[in-house]
Structure 1
Amino acid sequence: MSTKLGILVISHGSREAEWVGLVDRAVTAAASAAELTGVPVYSSFLEIVEGRLIQDGVDALEALGVTELFVLPLFVSSGSTHVDEIGQAFGFPRAYQLEGDLGTFRTASATTVHMGLPIDDDPDIAELLLSNIAELSDQPSEESLLLVAHGSKEAGFHGRWRQGLTSLAARMQDLGGFRRAEIAMLLPNQAGCVLKAMQRREPEAAVIVVPIFLSTGYFTNHVIPNRLTGLTYRYNGLAMLPHPAIERWMQRQMIAWTRGAGGREQ
């Protein structure tokens, strides 16, 4: 039986139309590669965006005859419990003891599902984040970075977040020539304590806070500043989108899979 390839990009979703638009535009740009001509790509969301949820995407692609489905999780970290829950709902084993609550997605008996990987410490993303903070940096050798991400308190997932963030921080420190690079998560509540410790240790070093979020919104505009109230730091709140590095990251995974080089198979 002949096979037909299809790609389902999954991101979290938001009530903000601009957030959804940023994701959709990035997915459209990634799917425009000549190597992906004829491969249908659907941008879906974990929650909130009615009519564009994951099952809607599966149904739409299968209606086009797709039998080989590549699921690309557009999430910051493999430590996200959402990524593992999505995998479970597609029939993949859970990574740790946390059991997802998404149920089971319906797929045709002829459909094979392949899972891609989230962003983690991709080199292009390190350069993207450095470009975001370029306006805040005067003398990198006298400045420190504090990467702040959502994080997780769940056993195992916290370690995945820490591993990816630590590697990303090291990349940024090396590429940018910064004095130091530290990481902190909002869950558990670490940002304020880590920043205070950095300033006690090296009071002369300016600290640039780097949000590790896909798009600006509640966490970048409100939660991070609130957690750092009363402390001195440099911050512009810029997130990963919009930036062509996200499009390139997606495109690389999509093309690698169509060539038979990527993804976990169901």
Structure 2
Amino acid sequence: MTRRRSPLAFAAILLAGVLDAASMAPLNILQDKAFGVLLLGDGADKDFKDAIGAVARKLTARVPLEFAAGPVDVHSMQKGLDRLKAARVKKVVVIPLMTTSNSERMDEIRFVLGIRENPSPEFFSAARSRPGYALVRRVETKLPVVLAPALDDHPLVVEILASRALSLSKRPQDEALVLVGLAPVAKAAAGEYRRTLSALAERVRAKGGFKAAACAVLQPDAPLQAERERAQEDLRKLVRELSRTQRALVVPHVLAGDAASRPILRALSGVFMRYNKKGLLPDERIIRWVEESAHKGAALPDMRLFKDAGRPLVSTRQALPGAPKSRLKEILP
């Protein structure tokens, strides 16, 4: 009878692996365990799992690394922190594998880590409000904690998006790039995300040699249907207008998988354009981003300001069956 391996067994296998030293510069913390990494992400499709598995295979033997799955799963985050403490790290660098640092989800992460006093109001009112949480509490740890930025407009993101666009291209000098993202709910965060996306589109245009570039955002989580429909119509008008004089290449600014792209594809149904379904993941350059984020975060001081661990923030919802659990054994190969 075949025995099922536990998540710890998978981690042990990864630690025992021999890594190609030429694939990236080594982390110089293997002996003293100056810091560990807690990688956060929310995804269940194959692209996302492949990306997390690739990060684990490359970095676990170089630095203690844990993964917390789910849309801010406090239980999974706590388990990851506890494992890093058991590994005797001196600091934890939390790296959110997310497209933007400005969102209600990132504010919730800041609250859970003790960096922010309260989560944003959108946490309670977002249309995607999820079951399974009656209380939101902070994690408990005595270790210094640093929260790294999300992917945002990192140069490696520009490279990945340019690769996605060029895979659709025949003559970049005659084509227009349209970068489409999914905006946060909060107006301020959505505005900041749009500005970031606009800057990304221009940088991708320059790198790929495209004739023109534009960006658009959808808001599938907006509380009002009119807001969602207006964003969809704006996207359709933009692509149709560009298609009159040049070929329009649409590239999604999403992490991974068809699921994240569905709102974009629905909005563009019947519109003539070329579309790349592939998100930012999987891509070897993401591993470089994680390593760079870890190095930078390790040099920063403890960001935790609120250490009232365990103090609950009461929600109006009742706990329901099916609350998300750690998916480490599903992610790691």
- Which range, TM-score by smaller chain? 0.7 to 0.9
Matched, 1:245 2:290: no
Alignment-mate amino acid for residue 42 of structure 1:
E
Contact 1:129 1:240 in 2 (8 A): yes
Name the structure 2 match of 1:98: 121
**Whole-Å Cα distance in 2 between the matches of residues 198 and 227 of structure 1?**
11
Give how far 1:83 is off: 1.4
Q: How many residues align?
A: 254
Distance 1:251 1:3, change over 3 A: closer
**Whole-Å Cα distance in 1 between the matches of residues 163 and 78 of structure 2?**
36
Task: Report matched runs for 1:190-209 at 5 Å.
Answer: 190-200=231-241, 203-209=244-250
Alignment-mate amino acid for residue 250 of structure 2:
V
Give how far 1:137 is off: 0.7
Contact 1:9 1:43 in 2 (8 A): yes
Contact 2:38 2:81 in 1 (8 A): yes
How far does the alpha carbon of each residue in 1:79-125 deviate from its partner, in whole angstroms, 9 at most, with x for none? Answer: 232112101111112699536467233323x3111110001111111
**Whole-Å Cα distance in 1 between the matches of residues 296 and 218 of structure 2?**
33
How far does the alpha carbon of each residue in 1:221-253 deviate from its partner, in whole angstroms, 9 at most, with x for none? Answer: x32211111111101301111111111111111
Give how far 1:156 is off: 1.4
**Whole-Å Cα distance in 1 between the matches of residues 58 and 189 of structure 2?**
28
Distance 1:129 1:30, change over 3 A: farther
What is the percent sequence identity of the aligned residues? 26
**Whole-Å Cα distance in 1 between the matches of residues 160 and 202 of structure 2?**
14
Pick from 197, 202, 209 the counterpart of residue 165 of structure 1: 197
Matched, 1:5 2:35: yes
Give how far 1:150 is off: 1.4
Give how far 1:46 is off: 3.0
Contact 1:70 1:263 in 2 (8 A): no
Name the structure 2 match of 1:22: 50
Give how far 1:40 is off: 0.7
RMSD, aligned CA: 2.8
Three-state SS of the structure 2 residue aligned to 1:76 is: coil
**Whole-Å Cα distance in 1 between the matches of residues 118 and 293 of structure 2?**
21
Pick from 151, 158, 162 the counterpart of residue 183 of structure 2: 151
Name the structure 2 match of 1:231: 271
Pick from 140, 152, 160 the counterpart of residue 172 of structure 2: 140
Structure 1 gaps of 5+ residues are none
Q: TM-score, normalised by structure 1?
A: 0.84
**Whole-Å Cα distance in 1 between the matches of residues 213 and 295 of structure 2?**
33
Q: TM-score, normalised by structure 2?
A: 0.68
> Relative contact order (alpha carbons < 8 A, sep ≥ 6): 1 or 2 greater?
2
How far does the alpha carbon of each residue in 1:134-182 deviate from its partner, in whole angstroms, 9 at most, with x for none? Answer: 2311111221111111112312111221122111111101111212211
Alignment-mate amino acid for residue 140 of structure 2:
T
Contact 1:78 1:120 in 2 (8 A): yes
Three-state SS of the structure 2 residue aligned to 1:131 is: helix
Pick from 79, 82, 101 the counterpart of residue 59 of structure 1: 82
Contact 1:5 1:67 in 2 (8 A): yes
Name the structure 1 match of 2:65: 41
Distance 1:200 1:94, change over 3 A: farther
Distance 1:84 1:50, change over 3 A: closer
Matched, 1:219 2:247: no
Q: Larger C-alpha radius of gyration, 1 or 2?
A: 2
**Whole-Å Cα distance in 2 between the matches of residues 265 and 56 of structure 1?**
20
How far does the alpha carbon of each residue in 1:22-50 deviate from its partner, in whole angstroms, 9 at most, with x for none? Answer: 23223215525xxx83x311111234989
Give how far 1:198 is off: 4.5
Contact 1:12 1:45 in 2 (8 A): yes
Alignment-mate amino acid for residue 194 of structure 1:
L
**Whole-Å Cα distance in 1 between the matches of residues 267 and 292 of structure 2?**
36
Contact 2:146 2:301 in 1 (8 A): yes
Distance 1:172 1:211, change over 3 A: same
